[in-house]
A and B are shown apart, each in its own frame.
Chain A
Amino acid sequence: MTMQTETAAGNFRLSMLISDTRYRSYTFQLVAMVLLFGSVGYLISNLIFNLETAGLSISYEFLGEPAGYDINQRLIEYNSQSSHWRASVVGVLNTLLVAVVGCFFATIFGVIAGVLRLSNNWIVAKIMAGYVEIFRNVPVLIWILIINAIFLVSLPQPKAFKSRGGNPPEAEMFLDAFAFTGRGIYMPKPVLQGGGLLVVGVFFLSIVAMFLYRRHARNLLYSQGKDLPTFWPSVGILFAPAILLYALMAFTSELPIVLEYPALKGFNFKGGIWARGSFVALTFALAIYTGAFIAENVRAGILAISKGQTEAAASLGIRPNRIMSLVILPQALRVIIPPMISNYLNLTKNSSLAIAVGYMDITGTLGGITLNQTGRAIEAILLLMAFYLLISLSISAIMNVYNKSVAIKER
């Protein structure tokens, strides 16, 4: 154990920058930083130089010009005379829609598959293992194309729902409200009339009230040991106020919420909500693909909990599915959540393959049509990258908040 002798401050020599371990790390870091900035600066100056030579310039004015193209699926108002910026916003909302719906279903598929793969039933475990292996090992673009082709070919086209030449229609609407076609799923749309907004508001308040009641019941249990019933009162609090208000309005004035049904007119169904085939295929393919990865993460998390926990819980007389939900899963979530964050990010970024099935996400509008029509490749790609970076950082920030809240707090 040699003690490092402290040299007096006045004995500093230039060669100590490399030889003295105290300063060596700073020296190397400084050199690395200079090299990094130097190479990045060289690349940027090269780019600017080449652009000037070619007579091109970087400008974002194209965002204000009319786009000139139509987008089929959009969550906000848009027509072909709207600006490129608005088209990008439509693309952003489409990407977020796919990301949210896809992550939701991917989690469901993944958790179910992961837990079932650990079941004692040999057939179920093998089926889930097959699902995971098949869906993980084929590239996601191929799954998107396959699932889209399956939907396209197996479901009937809208014109099959018409009776032609005196023959009855080849396909019928499900419950006279839903139509499953190769172009998408047509569903009835709830339309808010009059007091509809009030009913929706009351429903949201009921959700809050239900959570408050359950928290109150839990606090009461921990503090006083009193066991309040939770299931039926929760259901009651959740649904009763909204239903009562709905019935009241229906009897006194008009129905607050009515359903608009899709009906076949001309080439397509009109009315109702149309979940287009490209959206359904893309979301389903992404959810199933990412679900396979999440299944493995869930399985890893559960297996990471020592077997002693299961055995101790069983010796207390807890039933197997309550062992899983009350003892194992809460602990396993600490192991599951960090890799699940990266799976969510993967799903969001994989949604950029949407143009392969004709779904206009941000890569399709900004990085595709806008880029092509205006020729502003560098500006569009930079904006696209900034957007994906922003989304990914937001998703991981949100999940890290949850992660921190369940981390084991050290005393």
Chain B
Amino acid sequence: MKKSVIISALTIAGLTAGAALAGTMDDVKARGKLNCGVTTGLVGFASPDANGEWEGFDVGVCRAVAAAVLGDASAVEFVPTTGKTRFTALASGEIDMLARNTTWTFSRDVDLKFEFTGVNYYDGQGFMVPKDLGVGSASDLDGATVCIQTGTTTELNLADFFRSNNISYEPVPIETNSEAMQQYLAGACDVYTTDASGLAASRATFEDPDAHVVLPEIISKEPLGPLVRHGDNNWGDVVRWTLNALITAEELGVTSANIGEMSNGTNNPEINRLLGTEGTLGEMLGLDAEWAKRAISVGGNYGELFEANIGVNTPIGIARGLNSQWTDGGLIYSPPFR
């Protein structure tokens, strides 16, 4: 009799423990580490360096969130995910946020029940071909063999593009970017297609980058950004406004060089609110006042992160283009810190 009471009590306790959903932020703070889902290896966005330390544009966003919430930019567990595993990892709770150059689409937002916390890179899908193929435009690709990563919006866009132009192609499905490059360089496919930023990042790692050309057509919109699960609005706010803090810092001229003196107080009230010397913005998020200062101090503001990882002075060599601040004619625009 006693045993059955104990067992049923345990069962009920187990069920109710599951019912009391702790917020993700509390989980992260209790764990002391942020679980961040990244790609398996895309130079410039997320790849481990020679010492095993992750670096890249998406990695920078994750470290900024970790610094804002936990105070330590290195308290991040990077979980490499493939195109197939990234959404189940996020939905199941294995990772707290996914910063994996993922395109913000209707079905992912609505049907898969995720919340996109902003766009950190406005991209589009392009094609890369070897120069000696003699092709100058994507509409000349009738009958070509195309290497395509499965489970991405790229795949669907590719099918739509060829269908609407009444030309046909032969898809070669691959799982990861590195596999794609290997097949493309060996000649198993004539064309490699992915986001233009991914094409630039891959081409930078080739032995002879000039023997490959990216075709001029951009056939889709690919707004890439970090995402979190539905159901935890506070955590979504934290991630969203950390990204916005990086963007606003560049807009207002706060850099990693001058952030120290700016946090003593400036003439610009918005900088003061951002860095916590005025107002209670941090408290509204459930963090302390210096959350944005810590986030910006990790890798600098948005522009500095961009230049350091994928800018024109890196082997990847992407110009700001659409990803300039709105004041420079680009699309990077953060709501005001007020």
Contacting residues, chain A, for B183 (C-beta < 8 A): 152, 358
Cross-chain contact A369 with B150 (CB below 8 angstroms): yes
Given contacts A182-B186, A371-B84, A375-B91, contact A69 B170 (CB under 8 A): no
* A152 to B188 alpha-carbon distance, docked (Å): 7
**Chain B, 204-236, CB within 8 A of any chain A CB:** 229-231
Contacts of B158 in A (CB 8 A): 70
Return the CB mask of B77-113 against A: 1 if under 8 Å, else 0: 0000001100110010000000000000001100111
B81 to chain A, nearest CB (A): 11
Q: Which of A7-15, A50-58, A250-258, A288-296 contacts B (4 or more CB under 8 A)?
A: A50-58
* A56, A69, A80, A364: residue with the most chain B Cβ atoms closer than 10 Å: A69
Q: Shortest distance in angstroms between B95's beta carbon and chain A's nearest beta carbon?
A: 15
Interface string of A46-77 (1 = CB under 8 A from B): 10011001111000000000001111100000
Chain B residues contacting A159 (CB-CB under 8 Å) are 187
Q: How big is chain A's contact interface, by range?
A: 35 or more
A358 and B174: CB pair below 8 A?
Answer: yes
One of A81, A268, A375, A377 near B143 (C-beta < 8 A): A268
Interface 0/1 of A234-269, CB less than 8 Å to B: 000000000000000000000000000000011110
Cβ-based interface call for A272 (8 A):
no
**B173 adjacent to A355 (CB under 8 Å):** yes
Closest B-chain residue to A375, C-beta based?
B112
Is A153 part of the contact surface with B, judged by Cβ < 8 Å? yes
Residues of B contacting A368 in the complex (Cβ-Cβ under 8 angstroms): 84, 150-151
- B window 279-307: CB within 8 A of A: none
Q: What's the Cα separation between A183 and B186 when bound, in Å?
A: 10
- Whether the Cβ atoms of A80 and B112 lie closer than 8 Å is no
What residues on B are CB-neighbors of A375 within 8 Å? 87-88, 91, 108, 111-112
CA gap between A159 and B159 in the complex, in Å:
24
> How many A-B Cβ pairs are below 8 Å?
111
1/0 per residue, CB under 8 A from A, across B164-186: the answer is 00000111111100000001001
Q: Which residues of A contact B229 (CB under 8 A)?
A: 54
* Residue in chain A with minimal CB distance to B152: A372
By beta carbon, the residue of chain B nearest A62 is B111
Q: A196 near B: Cβ within 8 Å?
A: no
- A-side contacts of B84, CB under 8 Å: 368, 371-372
B278: interface (CB < 8 Å):
no
**A72:B171 contact, CB within 8 angstroms:** yes
Does A182 contact B113, Cβ atoms closer than 8 Å? Answer: no
The residue on B at minimum CB distance from A152 is B186
Q: Are A72 and B186 in contact (CB under 8 A)?
A: no
| Sample of 17 further A-B pairs with CB below 8 A, known A69-B171, A267-B190 | A42-B11, A54-B113, A54-B229, A54-B231, A56-B113, A72-B172, A159-B187, A266-B142, A270-B143, A355-B173, A368-B84, A371-B84, A372-B151, A373-B107, A373-B151, A373-B155, A375-B91
Q: Offer 27 A-B interface pairs, CB within 8 angstroms, sorted by A.
A: A42-B11, A49-B18, A50-B18, A53-B18, A53-B21, A54-B91, A55-B230, A56-B91, A69-B156, A69-B159, A69-B171, A70-B169, A72-B170, A80-B159, A80-B163, A81-B163, A157-B187, A159-B187, A182-B188, A268-B145, A268-B170, A356-B175, A358-B172, A358-B173, A358-B174, A368-B150, A372-B151
Q: Which 10 interchain pairs have the tightest Cβ spacing?
A: A372-B151, A80-B159, A375-B112, A157-B187, A68-B156, A267-B144, A358-B173, A69-B155, A266-B143, A369-B150
Q: Which residues of B contact A (CB under 8 A)?
A: 11, 15, 18-19, 21, 83-84, 87-88, 91, 107-108, 111-113, 141-145, 150-152, 155-156, 158-160, 163, 169-175, 183, 186-188, 190, 229-231
